[in-house]
Structure 1
Amino acid sequence: MTYRYRVATIFLMGFFIDCINLFMPTVALPRIAAEFAIGNASSAWVGNAYMLGLTLAVPVSTWLANRWGARRLLSAAMLAFSVAVWGCGEAQSFAALIAWRLVQGMAGGLLIPVGQALTFELFQGPERARVSTLVMAVALLAPALSPTLGGLIVDHGRWPWVFHSNIPLALLTAALAWAWLDQAPGPTAPRPDFKGLLLVSAALACLLLGLSLYGAGHGALLATACLLAGVSCALLYRTHYQRAATGIVELKLLASPRLRVSMQVYHAIPGVFTGVNLLNIFYLQDVLQLSAQATGLFMLLYAAGAFAAMLLAGRLYNRVGAARLLLLGMLMHSLGICLLVMVETPADNALLMAAYGLMGIGGGIGANTAQTTALLDFGGERMPQASVLWNLNRQMAFSVGAALLLMIFNLLLVGLSTPDAYHLTFSLAALLGLAPLMTLHTLPPENPRHA
């Protein structure tokens, strides 16, 4: 195997590990919530902590790789990841589990951008397109397989093995990185904006904490204080950004309507779906008494629909245009969520299959179109800056979507029965998924050079 394919293999293995750790623990959340005696709003922090870890690590990963060398960094990151997943499975309290998930996310955040940069530097032109296809395949394969495998583990074993099962692959990736990658550090890179990174991370953490506390019934005063702290950190970052030469998040890039609309769509489709899927897992397991394995199987339909839709969207993009594809994606995705409102008994498998199929098709069209559109206006040194902003928004969409819908659900529980609260939350989620419709008209016409 040539050197560049060794690098690509390490990146794809790390990317696969990262993806399954976003989705596999989700099917175990009802068991985790029961064991630690926590509410479903608090259980969302199993995912939120991982996302916050990624947010902290991604912006500094390239700088660390240039200082230490990719070989040392990626090997150390995967070793740290292995220790963290072991710690997650052995956690004796929910606080310990969240702390280990934060470490796990930071380790994953060091590997992905460095591995991607190394791989894309070695593959140019049509070869890069083939590598991108492999990345897309991994991005679909992991969400399709990991919930099913996680459900098998939970039904026939114990939930800690959802985390422990990652250790062999993580150790193998660490060993291959040490054996295959070059040792030399890269060129000297400018010091990252650590103050900006802390302010952005604090803003996101306070926002998620405020939504979680309010939804879990801890009182409006404490939740409002957290939300105000989040807004304050965001405003402080804006002031810091205006004074600094460069920022960890380049706010001026939001002047691009393509990037701005694509970011909104990502919150409306993948972000909303994250919250809907998390709530539906609790609904299917706790209310309808379906097994974790049966719950995870529906993600296979989602992934199949998303894969077919991505292929279709790629072919139609230059002929139909981004606005029409985004409109179609949002409508189909919200229609799938609406079908969940009609699921009332364990026998409603046909509705569940149709719902996940439609959400997959709509999500595939919308997410693929947003991904394609987001960075069209950028090139040169602005491309990595736009990529950082896009990826941070992507991670925020997952966490905010889950926290917001769990808050809505828990507030509705005060005056409604549990099934009615689930169904009304799904209805509101379908409306939230259509929110960017009002901004589609701001997208500029397609440019022939983008074809």
Structure 2
Amino acid sequence: MDYRWRVTAVFLLGFFLDCINIFMSAIALPDVAQTMAVGPSLIGWVGNAYILGLVVVMPISTWLSGYLGTRRLLVLSMLLFSVAVLACGYADSFARLIVWRFIQGLGGGLLIPVGQALVFNLFPGAQRGRVSTVIMATALIAPAFSPTLGGIIVDHGSWRWVFFANVPFSLLAAVLAWLWIEKGRGAQVAEPDLKGLILIGLVLASVLIALSLYADRGFRTGVVAGLAAALVCGAAYWFHHKKTRNPIVDISLMGNRRLAVAMLVYHAVPGVFTGVNLTAIFYFQTVLGFSAQSTGQFMLFYAAGALVAMVAGQRVSASLGSRFLLAVGITLHSIGIVCLVGVHAADQVPLLIAAYTMMGVGGGLSANTAQTIALLDFKGRHMEQGSVIWNLNRQIAFSLGVAAMTLVLALVKRWLPAISPYPATFLFATVLCLSALCVLPSLSPLLLERKS
């Protein structure tokens, strides 16, 4: 196998593990909540803790790569991931599960931005569109099959095996990284911006804690304090960033039009979908009476639609342009969410299939186009920094999507008890998704072909 594709294979395996740890664990959350005796608002921290770990460590992954060397860093990340995911399966309390999920996120967060930057630097120019499609296809294979597999595990065994099942794959990734990545010495790099890292972690943690407290307990003082803390930490990082030579996240790169639009689209489509999917899992299992396996199988239709959309989108991107593809993708994804609003009984399976297929088509088209244009203008060091920002945004989008949908669901239950809360939440998600159309006019009508 060509060296470029060996490197790509190692990255894709780690990326695959990251994806299944969002979707495969989600299908088990109703059972985890029952075992740990926690509500839907707090159970979201099984995902939030993992994402918070990713967010904390991703910005220093580039520095660690320079200090340790890429091969050693990738091996260590997968070994840490293996230990943490094993401990998650054995966790006997909710607090311990959350701690180990955070550590698991630390392991995964070391591999993703470094691996993606390495792969993208090996596939310059027009070739990047092809490898980007392969990356996004991997991101679809995981949610296609992992929820179904997770459902089978939960229905016929224990939710703990949802975590244990990761161990062979993470160990395989460690072995392949050692065998296939070229050995290189660590480069001389600047010391990491630990102050900036702490401030960024506090911003996200404050927002998530505030939203969770309000959704779970209606604690208004807590949410105001949490959001205020996030604003203060965010402002502190802004001033810190301007005074620091090597900030942990180079905010100035977000002034790039393509990256900025791609980041916003990712919040509105994949981010919103992650929250919608978690809400739907509880709706299907606790209200409509679906089994975990049956719930997971709807993701097969999502993945099928997304795969078709990505392949077709890649072929017509040069003639239609990124702005048109994103507009179509956002619209189709919103139509899919609207279909969920009309689901009120377990016998409406055709409507559910249509909903997930439509969300898949729209999500695949939007996510793949956003992934392709996000780092199109960057090379070398800026590519590494841009990769960190892009992957941070991807993880934050997932976390905020879950937090937003959980909060809306709780508010509808609390303030509008006469309204069915789940359809109302899906309707809100539709509006949130469509709002992304507002940022598209800033893109050139035909963007991809100008850069290819």
TM-score (norm 1): 0.94
State whether structure 2 residue 280 is matched by structure 1 residue 280: yes
Structure 1 residues 34 and 95: CA distance shift in structure 2, 3 A: same
- Which residue number corresponds to residue 47 of structure 1? 47
- Which residue number corresponds to residue 189 of structure 1? 189
DSSP-derived class of the 2:444 partner: coil
- Which residue number corresponds to residue 138 of structure 1? 138
Structure 1 residues 268 and 218: CA distance shift in structure 2, 3 A: same
| Cα distance in 2 between the residues matched to 1:376 and 1:251 | 17
How many Å apart are 1:213 and its aligned residue? 0.9
How many Å apart are 1:204 and its aligned residue? 0.8
Name whichever of 346-355 and 307-316 sits farther off: 307-316
| Cα distance in 2 between the residues matched to 1:137 and 1:350 | 25
Structure 1 residues 77 and 260: CA distance shift in structure 2, 3 A: closer
- What pairs with 1:55-94 in structure 2 (closer than 5 Å)? 55-94=55-94
Q: Is the 1:259–1:373 contact (alpha carbons within 8 Å) kept by the matching residues of 2?
A: yes
- Which residue number corresponds to residue 449 of structure 1? 450
Structure 1 residues 8 and 322: CA distance shift in structure 2, 3 A: closer
How many Å apart are 1:119 and its aligned residue? 4.0
- Which residue number corresponds to residue 395 of structure 1? 395
Q: Deviations over 1:32-61 (max 9, x none)?
A: 111111111111111111111111222222
Structure 1 residues 419 and 25: CA distance shift in structure 2, 3 A: farther
| Cα distance in 1 between the residues matched to 2:41 and 2:291 | 21
- Which residue number corresponds to residue 206 of structure 1? 206
DSSP-derived class of the 1:433 partner: helix
Amino acid at match of 2:369: T
Q: Is the 1:24–1:150 contact (alpha carbons within 8 Å) kept by the matching residues of 2?
A: yes
Amino acid at match of 1:113: P
RMSD of aligned Cα (Å): 2.1
Q: Is the 2:51–2:105 contact (alpha carbons within 8 Å) kept by the matching residues of 1?
A: yes
Q: Is the 2:89–2:163 contact (alpha carbons within 8 Å) kept by the matching residues of 1?
A: yes
- Which residue number corresponds to residue 436 of structure 1? 436
DSSP-derived class of the 1:413 partner: helix
State whether structure 2 residue 306 is matched by structure 1 residue 317: no
Q: Is the 2:306–2:364 contact (alpha carbons within 8 Å) kept by the matching residues of 1?
A: yes
Structure 1 residues 288 and 71: CA distance shift in structure 2, 3 A: same
DSSP-derived class of the 2:185 partner: coil
How many Å apart are 1:102 and its aligned residue? 0.5
- What pairs with 1:407-426 in structure 2 (closer than 5 Å)? 407-417=407-417, 420-426=420-426
How many Å apart are 1:131 and its aligned residue? 4.3
| Cα distance in 2 between the residues matched to 1:41 and 1:175 | 38
Structure 1 residues 185 and 115: CA distance shift in structure 2, 3 A: same
- Aligned pair count reads 451
| Cα distance in 1 between the residues matched to 2:414 and 2:128 | 52
How many Å apart are 1:182 and its aligned residue? 4.2
Q: Is the 2:74–2:111 contact (alpha carbons within 8 Å) kept by the matching residues of 1?
A: yes
- Which residue number corresponds to residue 252 of structure 2? 252
DSSP-derived class of the 2:27 partner: helix
Q: Percent identity?
A: 52
Q: Is the 2:79–2:171 contact (alpha carbons within 8 Å) kept by the matching residues of 1?
A: yes
Amino acid at match of 1:285: Q
| Cα distance in 2 between the residues matched to 1:218 and 1:196 | 31
DSSP-derived class of the 2:266 partner: helix
| Cα distance in 1 between the residues matched to 2:56 and 2:348 | 42
- Which residue number corresponds to residue 348 of structure 1? 348
| Cα distance in 1 between the residues matched to 2:56 and 2:239 | 20
State whether structure 2 residue 358 is matched by structure 1 residue 371: no
TM-score (norm 2): 0.94
- What pairs with 1:145-224 in structure 2 (closer than 5 Å)? 145-224=145-224
- Which residue number corresponds to residue 97 of structure 1? 97
| Cα distance in 1 between the residues matched to 2:172 and 2:375 | 34
| Cα distance in 1 between the residues matched to 2:84 and 2:345 | 39
Amino acid at match of 1:27: I
Amino acid at match of 1:41: S
- Which residue number corresponds to residue 386 of structure 1? 386
Q: Deviations over 1:245-298 (max 9, x none)?
A: 232222223333332222211111111101100000000000011000000001
